[in-house]
Amino acid sequence: MDLDASTLQTIYDQAINLLFDIVPKLAGAIIVYLVGKFIIQKLTKGFGIVIEKQADNPSLTKFLMSMVRAFLYVLLFLTIAYIVGINVTSFVALLGAAGLAVGLALQGSLANFAGGVLILMFKPFKVGDVIEGQGHLGTVESIDILYTKLKTFDNRSIIIPNGALSNADIINITSKPTRRVDFEVGVAYGTDLKKTRKVIIDTLSKDERIHKDPAPVAFFKEFGDSSLDISARVWTDAPNYWGVFFDNMENLKEAFEAAEIEIPFPQRDVHHYFPEGNPQSEKNNL
């Protein structure tokens, strides 16, 4: 097809206009990309430093940094597409719908993931701590993104979802260096309480694992059904808790025997009433 001079001039003018329209957008997009990439690198680096300080877990740090980096790059490319002139409204709507579908499908896993992040960042407990949570007591073996693994004292593995664990009460038994050990004992009615308290204090004070400050104490607690109840309290280092408890329960029993302090059995007085006479007496009269 023959092109006359006016047609060529029109094509030339349109090309020049298109060039002047596209080149600034492309230049702006390139500048935005380079600046955005630099900012993303700085942000992810700073975020990684913060996460490493808060959660001493390399796998968590790497995972979170990847998530943040991916999110920032999505924002960057959406910005570049908008600068170039691409309509991003439908693309954003598609991403939102996909995110909603994935979120609904993985609702439980996302809750566990969020719980794992909170546990690793705020550290209510750490690996090696003895905790009680969700009705289980054990030593923390590992804290993963979705689950926390406990080992019970009878060597069973308990795997607890982090979502449930982070939203419930947690008792961290070994978070403090010292623990109080309580002893509850009962002696027979009529026992000399001052003598009993002295025997208890003397027995407990012989254990070098028990702290001198605060000193062991023993006090009369209440009138029981069959005994005078006495409570004794001592302090010891957390790792010595069970050793101090079990050893001194035996020591107190032997000390009571040596001091002739009676530990009573539960007792009940039963009274028989015979409104029409005692059947046993009538039998004896026969």
Q: Are residues 160 and 248 in the same domain?
A: no
Same-domain check for residues 182 and 238: yes
Instruction: Answer whether residue 146 is part of any domain.
Output: yes
Chain position carrying tokens 């010595």: 240
Q: Identify whether residues 14 and 55 lie together within a single domain.
A: yes
Q: Are residues 141 and 210 in the same domain?
A: no
Reduced to 3 states (helix: H, G, I; strand: E, B; else coil), residue 123 is coil
Place 235 in a pLDDT band, splitting at 50, 70 and 90.
very high
The torsion angles phi and psi of 245, rounded to 5 degrees, stand at: -65, -55
Is position 267 within any domain? no
Q: Choose between 245 and 270: higher pLDDT.
A: 245
Asked if 130 and 161 sit in the same domain, the reply is: yes
- What integer pLDDT is reported at residue 21 of this predicted model? 65
Same domain flag for 75 and 163: no
pLDDT at 7: 65
Which residues partner with 158 through β-bridges? 150
The DSSP secondary structure of 192-252, one letter per residue, reads -HHHHHHHHHHHHHT-TTB-SSSPPEEEEEEE-SSSEEEEEEEEEEGGGHHHHHHHHHHHH
Residue 82: how many CB atoms within 10 A of its CB?
Answer: 14
Selected residue with higher pLDDT from 54 and 198: 198
Average pLDDT over residues 52-62: 63
Whether residue 91 is found in the same domain as residue 13: yes
Which pLDDT does position 280 carry in this prediction?
Answer: 61
Q: Which of 152, 172, 192 is the last residue of a domain?
A: 172
- Tens-place pLDDT, residues 108-126: 667 887 888 788 777 888 8
105, 139, 156 — which closes off a domain? 105
**What local confidence, expressed as pLDDT, does residue 2 receive?**
52
Neighbours of 285 (CB within 10 A): 6
The mean pLDDT value for 257-261 works out to: 94
Residue 23 has pLDDT above 90, yes or no: no
Q: What is the 3-state secondary structure (H, E, C) of 174-191?
A: CCCCEEEEEEEEEECCCC
Q: Is residue 283 part of a domain?
A: no
CATH number of the domain at 132, please.
2.30.30.60
112: in domain: no
Residue 19 domain flag = yes
Indicate the average pLDDT of the chain.
81
The answer to whether residue 86 sits within a structural domain is yes
Percent of the chain residues topping a pLDDT of 70 = 74
Where among 55, 72, 105 does a domain terminate? 105
Q: Is the pLDDT of residue 229 over 70?
A: yes
For residue 48, with 0-12 CB atoms within 10 Å meaning exposed, 13-18 middle and 19 or more buried, which class applies?
Answer: middle
**72-105 tens-digit pLDDT:** 888 888 788 777 766 767 666 666 766 666 565 5
Average pLDDT over residues 126-141: 90
CATH number at 240 reads: 3.30.70.100
The verdict on 18 and 98 lying in the same domain is yes
Segment 8-13 mean pLDDT: 62
Domain region containing 90: 8-105
For helices 58-84 and 89-105, angle between their N-to-C axes, nearest 10 degrees? 150
Report how far residue 240's alpha carbon sits from residue 248's, in angstroms, rounded to the nearest whole number: 12
In CATH, what number is assigned to the domain containing residue 27?
Answer: 1.10.287
Same domain for 167 and 183? Answer: no
92 and 166 inside one domain? no
Helix (H) or strand (E) holding 41: helix 5-54
Say what the pLDDT of residue 55 is.
Answer: 57
pLDDT in tens, 154-182: 999 999 998 888 888 899 988 899 999 99
Domain count, the chain: 3
Q: Is the domain of 149 the same as that of 196?
A: no
Task: Yes or no: say if 251 and 175 are a contact pair by the CB < 8 Å rule.
Answer: no
Q: Are residues 182 and 160 in the same domain?
A: no
Residues 204/250, Cβ–Cβ less than 8 Å: no
Residue 282 lies in a domain: no
113 found inside a domain: no
First to last CA, the chain: 146
